A = this chain, B = another copy of it.
Amino acid sequence: MDIRHTFGSNLKHYRTEANMSQAALAVKMGVDRAHVSAMERGQQNVTIITLWHVAQALDIAPAALLNERDEARLAGR
């Protein structure tokens, strides 16, 4: 799986787990909701500092956003 999709799938997974909307995450990160949406769709080749900001906003370890979770693999995304 393209690492951008791994990242996007994990982002969506942890955001949903935190009961946070894309809009709420966007506000917390100080970015546009469209940017959150694009990241989740695997359309953004983000830098590690942006990845760190996402992890901070979701209160998870940065590395968790790059892990190949089984359900992401199974979904083929």
Contact = CB atoms under 8 A, between A and B. Distances in A.
Q: How large is the interface on A (under 10, 10 to 19, 20 to 34, 35 or more residues)?
A: 10 to 19
Contacts of A47: 45-48
A14 interface: no
Number of copies: 2
A74 interface: no
Interface stretch (A16-24, A25-33, A61-69): A61-69
Contacts of A62: 3, 6, 66
Given A3-B62, A63-B66, A45 B49 contact: yes
5 contacts: A6-B62, A47-B47, A62-B66, A63-B63, A63-B68
**Closest 6 interchain pairs by CB?**
A63-B66, A3-B52, A63-B63, A45-B47, A62-B66, A63-B67
